Chain A
Amino acid sequence: MEKRKNLRRALSVVAVIGVMLFTVWAERHMDAFQVRLIHMWGIYVILVSSFNLIYGFTGQFSLAHAGLTAIGAYTVALLTLSPEAKQVSFMLAPPVWPISVVQWPFVPSLLLGGLLTAVVGFVIGAPALRVHGDYLLITTFGFSEIIRLLLCNVPGVCNGAMGLKGIPKNTNLAWVWGLAIITIFATKRLVDSSYGRALRCIREDEIAAEAVGVNLSFHKIMAFVFSSFFVGIAGGLLANLLGTVAPSTFKPDLSYAVITMAVLGGVQSLTGGVVAAGIYAITSELLRTIESPRQIFGINYPGMPGLRALTFAVLLLLLILFYRRGLMGATEFSWDSVFSRVQRLFGKAKSGGEEA
């Protein structure tokens, strides 16, 4: 048993090193389009893992992901932008102090972005103590929209609907995937701990959980804060990847996208979420073609913006109707399943050999 455990641990370390080496290699050798895809994949992984913690494990359906991502993105963007660039891009009103003078390096900016988003997550989590199910969904949706509208309407802080431009592009694949791995690792550790057990109990039966001494408020808020921290980091990575942020980036569509990925992967499976995030990142790029004008068999197709969103909406509906378990349901990728598969493979080869 102990040997197996060490082997699993070693394999995981090797896999992580492998992923990190791949990101360094990919950054240099793959074309810009592919690199962009892998970037988005990694950022989606962070978003979907943090959503799984809230919804899959704690059972709190939240639509706040878009707003939370915006908090992280704007915080990191404002911290990393140089004061000169801010003076140029703030057209509607001059930037307020201290935003006008501050410039931080990337890493502390990301950290503060995460922490600030965690604080907002605390506020958004609070209604979860009083409302459940659909009502919580509506409340968190409202919060998310409030954040976006604030961004549109406070020109001195975030330049209104114009957004921010010229953000230094500090994000690279190694950062994205390194942080994605940390997110998954930390979430998995939390879920497997006594606290995770308490979260699952809350999801299953709040009354029973309370009766055995689980403090509902503390645990729900904890889940929201923990999840929001990573959402903020994903937002920061996104800002420093795109180089521009605008309120329109954080429309509810982003929250829907995260839900689609989570359901596709299986809401209680972090590794399922990784696969689903990859599928989503790739298909959403490929589906761009259906929005652009083109000739099909001699017929002029004018292109229909918004068709992608529609496609994903239909996909989500179909998933919920016919494939609610998602790709992985509540199971995780494990080395043990790989071992047994390999064993079966070899076992087959062996018995086949004997027959021959």
Chain B
Amino acid sequence: MSVLETKGLTMRFGGLTAVLDFNLTLEEGELVGLIGPNGSGKTTVFNMITGFYEPTEGKIILDGREITGLRPDQVASLGIARIFQNSRLFREQAVLDNVLIGHHLRLRSSPFSAVLRLPGYTREEKQAHEEAMTLLEGLGLADVVGEIAGSLPYGLQRKLEVARALATRPSLLLLDEPATGMSTEETTEMMDFILKVRDDFQLTILLIEHHMRVVMGICERMVVLNYGKTIARGSPEEIQNNPEVIEAYLGADE
């Protein structure tokens, strides 16, 4: 069964159609790239899938269940995690807290039992701590658990954001330009990191990226948007040679 399916997803802002009739099916374990020039509607697609925008038309189906119109926190608790284009870490808080917050959606104790530190709450919090530590160790962030997130080098901040997303235990991960502003080495590291994370956590990943090296290097399949319309889909090789894509990116030959 497919993990995610979008049917005729359309987003209009007044007279502007940001995304038109977007159809995508993600199979379990796939790594699919979503590319297109600036302003082509990629992030809008992410915002619709994660519940930040309610699509004007169309349906979003996660694991056979329709999630169109749910709130972002509900979508998150159903298993879609996301990292943002511009880092949205909780910069003032410790690295560990940034990951622990990802566990909050599974907390079953009430605020009341949290204040009284009832055994149920204490157990849950302890378990969250242990799991967060394991996660951070697994991702090579164990050395910085106590640091303030905003003080980390950029590459680590991006990784931490992925770690925070993973802490919510997603089945689907949406990555919005994870390698933006990175050096060549950092980009290579990020590519390996994404592949490792996918295998270790059995994720399905939808990736927006401008670094063609990244997208071509790790994606199995790609979808290309231009002015909100899907203009091409296929393997990296097919996309590379598609005249419409070349035109969208480079402009048409005169």
Contacts and interface: CB of A to CB of B under 8 A. Distances in A.
B33 interface: no
Interface in A190-224: 190, 193-195, 197-198, 200-201, 204-205, 207-216, 222
A201 B114 contact: no
Chain A CB within 10 Å, residue with most, of B90, B121, B167: B90
A91 B152 CA distance: 67
B171 interface: no
Chain A residues touching B, majority SS: helix
A190 B115 contact: yes
Interface string A72-92: 000000000000000000000
A46 to B, nearest CB: 16
Contacts of B114: 189-190, 193-195
A198 B104 contact: yes
A309 interface: no
A222 B165 CA distance: 25
A226 B168 CA distance: 27
A212 B115 CA distance: 22
Contact of A200 (B71, B73, B88, B90): B90
Contacts of B72: 207, 210-211
Interface residues of B, number: 37
B50 interface: yes
Contact of B73 (A194, A195, A215, A226): A215
Contact of B71 (A204, A208, A210): A210
A154 interface: no
Contact of B128 (A189, A194, A200): A194
Contacts of A197: 93, 97, 100-101, 104
B105 interface: yes
A186 interface: yes
A205 B100 contact: no
B92 interface: yes
B107 interface: yes
Given A194-B128, A222-B111, A215 B71 contact: yes
Interface stretch (B10-18, B76-84, B135-143, B199-207): B76-84
A222 B114 CA distance: 13
B221 interface: no
21 contacts: A190-B111, A193-B121, A194-B100, A194-B104, A197-B97, A197-B104, A198-B104, A204-B90, A204-B91, A204-B92, A205-B90, A207-B52, A207-B84, A207-B88, A212-B102, A212-B164, A212-B167, A213-B73, A213-B168, A214-B73, A215-B71
